[in-house]
Amino acid sequence: MLYSKMLIPTLREDPTDAEVISHKLMLRAGMIRKLAAGIYTSLPLGHRVLRKTEEIIREEMNRAGALELTLPFVQPAEIWQESGRWDLYGKELLRFRDRGDRDFCLGPTHEEVITDVVRKEVTSYRQLPLILYQIHIKFRDEIRPRFGVMRAREFVMKDAYSFDVDEEAAEKSYRTMFDTYTRIFERCGLRFRAVEADTGPIGGSFSHEFMVLADSGEDSIFSCDSCSYAANKEKAEIGEEITDTRPVPQQALTRAETPGKRTIEEVSSFLKVTPKNLLKTLLYTADGSTVAVLIRGDHELNEVKLKNLLKADSVTLATDEEVERITSAPKGFAGPIGLKVKIIADHAVKGMNNCVTGGNAQDLHLLNVNRERDFAVDQFADLRAAQAGDRCPRCHGTLAVQRGIEVGHIFKLGIKYSKSLHATYLDPRGKEQYIVMGCYGIGVGRTVAAAIEQNHDKDGIIFPLPLAPFQVIVIPVNVKDTNIRDTAFTLYQSLAKEGLEVLIDDRDERPGIKFKDADLIGIPIRITVGAKAIENNQVDIKIRKTGQMELVQTGQVIEKVKGIVGAL
């Protein structure tokens, strides 16, 4: 491919509207351009990288026996009404009407459509198992599209759905997809981790997120330093070691005036006690009823754990009015003593002694509050958000935190959709059974962006070879010099003939500009053809990732390049 004909509009300066490095570099390298918020064009270079990524995904999905199809992007409201999600999905679902006034939406995901296909086409156990997938556009009207293609509104996803006769078979499909995802991200050349994710009402460890490790990642990953346990922030359990220090003499309960002091920081500095000795009382509304949640002052509540414990569809912090009604005090002064609602507490509260709580009256806190003597807890549970240094829930190891970018998500759905949309099959005895489903997604553009977050330096992108738009770039330092030009073109053609993906920078530009662009767009191998090529048949080969340079005889370039490609 000729550089001059490729449309690679590189930019020298960082675009001002890009916050993260991958977004900056994708714009600067001329891979993408923005059309509207969260809506991007992939220019030829970006397109090639997306295609490379898709091809790896496609090969591995096919190897796993999954079948590719294409589902409609525009979907009628009826199937969403059947599944119940037309009303539940919220504003990420972009709805509109056609000329006949019928309701439609742009597909943010395709469970409804695929279940509709399967309920019509699958009737017998003999047709199962089945894994169907597509690599296609999604639209989600994200509240805050950001970071370029990382969180876009229109984006390409590989979405797959499995259909099985029973739970056991569904778990096998899940395993197969887990292994397939592992191979996909390994083949992409990425450092990643599969972490347990929250499954909501389904339970068990049947949801994993595949996280590309990068310091700029939005997600926290908790992993054990001595076993294979890894989970995302919502899911991370704590193997709490409860040290009940309570046999210490309990001191007399006292009142403390705390005018206007509401937050943990304000109260702890005003009363000169450490946050660790403060007991936070949070009032929550769970499916309409109120509960009080007690958390140690230096800890944070994990709302997902609370939601799962209460088996609630929704949990929200009580409004200021509700807090006043229940505690008879404005927000900021709640405490457990005398509360007439269910009290649940995090395990760490067990070990708290002579602590400080709100006094359920304006500007009042209480000191030396002791559980059992002063108030009762109805239930203890693991409720707090994990922190680095916490005990692993599976062994005696310690949890460490890393940052990551979620690029893939696999989930066991059970019969959620087959029940609501009535997708059944006949078992060997002719009995009708619900099909057990799973769903599996990979964000293609996000994977590319994550690869760049993980692989770049001050000069630009350092593409892992399998994702690179070209494997090799040949740079003639001066195209006006016909000797240099001809040598470069001969080399370019012989590399291409070997099946290598080669770009030749045939532009009449200074070498410095060509080198800068080659570094910016991240081509793994650079071959420079200059005076030495003419004088003593030698070219410079530079490896983008290591910066390593080597003089190679022109006749040995192909062998050398193939060796590097094999090793990278």
Shortest Cβ 217–ligand ATP spacing (Å): 11
Which residue, 366 or 449, has its beta carbon nearer to ligand ATP?
Answer: 449
Separation between Cα atoms, residue 511 and residue 484, nearest integer Å: 13
Using CB under 6 A, pick the residue from 30, 358, 404, 408 that binds ligand ATP: 408
The phi and psi torsions of 244 (rounded to 5 degrees) equal -85, 105
CB of 113 to ligand ATP, least distance (A): 15
Using the contact rule CB under 6 A, the part of the chain among 49-57, 149-157, 199-207, 520-528 near ligand ATP is 149-157
- The yes or no reply on residue 407 touching ligand ATP (CB under 6 A) is yes
Nearer to ligand ATP, 155 or 229 (CB): 155
The set of residues, in sequence order, having a beta carbon less than 8 Å from that of 297 and lying 6+ positions away, is 264, 268, 274, 275, 276, 277, 278, 279, 280, 356
Interface of this chain with ligand ATP, residues 157 to 186, rule: CB under 6 A: 157
Provide the strand spans (E) within 289-338. Answer: 289-296, 315-317
Q: How far apart are CA 473 and CA 502, in angstroms?
A: 6
Say which amino acid occupies 58: R
- Nearer CB in complex with ligand ATP: 57/407: 407
Q: What are phi and psi of 181, to 5 degrees?
A: -60, -40
**406 contributes a contact to ligand ATP by CB under 6 A:** yes
Window 86 to 115, contacts with ligand ATP (CB under 6 A): 109
State the helix-helix crossing angle for 44-63 and 167-187, rounded to 10 degrees: 140
Which residue in 414, 441, 476, 524 binds ligand ATP (CB under 6 A)?
A: 441
The answer to whether residues 421 and 79 touch, using CB atoms and an 8 Å cutoff, is yes
- The total of other beta-carbon atoms located within 10 Å of residue 322's CB is 15
Number of residues that bind ligand ATP (CB under 6 A): 16
Residue 443 binding ligand ATP, by CB under 6 A: yes
Under the binding rule (CB under 6 A), the answer on residue 151 touching ligand ATP is: yes
- Residue 527 C-beta: closest distance to ligand ATP, Å: 35
> Is the CB of 445 or the CB of 466 nearer to ligand ATP?
445
Smallest distance, ligand ATP to C-beta of residue 319, A: 27
Tell me: does residue 142 bind ligand ATP (CB under 6 A): yes
50 binds ligand ATP (CB under 6 A): no
CB of 194 to ligand ATP, least distance (A): 12
Segment interacting with ligand ATP, rule: CB under 6 A, options 160-168, 239-247, 438-446, 503-511: 438-446
Which has the closest alpha carbon to 382: 227, 240, 519, 200? Answer: 240
Q: Which of 409, 416, 514, 544 binds ligand ATP (CB under 6 A)?
A: 409
Contact 278, 294 (CB under 8 A): no
Q: 428: which 2 tokens?
A: 């060997």
DSSP 8-state symbol, 200? G
User: Whose Cβ is closer to ligand ATP: residue 2's or residue 37's?
Assistant: 37
Find out whether 258 and 365 touch, Cβ atoms under 8 Å: yes
User: Residue 513 and residue 496: Cα distance in Å, rounded?
Assistant: 24
Q: Give whole-number Cα distances, 257 to 355, 364, 394, in Å.
A: 15, 5, 44
> Residue 407 Cβ, how far from ligand ATP at the closest point, in Å?
5
d(CA 342, CA 344): 7
In angstroms, what is the C-alpha Rg of the chain? 29
Cα dihedral across residues 331, 333, 337, 343: positive or negative: positive
Question: Of 77-85, 252-260, 265-273, 443-451, which part binds ligand ATP (CB under 6 A)?
Answer: 443-451
Question: Parallel, antiparallel, or unpaired: how do β-strands 364-369 and 355-358 relate?
Answer: antiparallel
Q: Which is nearer to ligand ATP, 445 or 522 (CB)?
A: 445
What is the distance, to the nearest Å, from the Cα of residue 371 to the centroid of all Cα atoms in its chain? 40
| Kind and range of the H or E run holding 165 | none
Each residue 111-140 as x (binds ligand ATP by CB under 6 A) or -, in order, gives: -----------------------------x
Q: Which is nearer to ligand ATP, 54 or 509 (CB)?
A: 54
> By the 8 A CB rule, do 83 and 417 touch?
yes
Closest distance between ligand ATP and the C-beta of residue 441, in Å? 3
Q: Confirm or reject binding of residue 446 to ligand ATP (CB under 6 A).
A: yes
Q: Between 150 and 329, whose beta carbon lies closer to ligand ATP? A: 150
Closest distance to ligand ATP from the beta carbon of 300 (Å): 19
Among 155, 161, 206, 470, binds ligand ATP (CB under 6 A): 155
> Footprint of ligand ATP on this chain (CB under 6 A)?
109, 140, 142, 151-152, 155, 157, 406-409, 441-443, 445-446
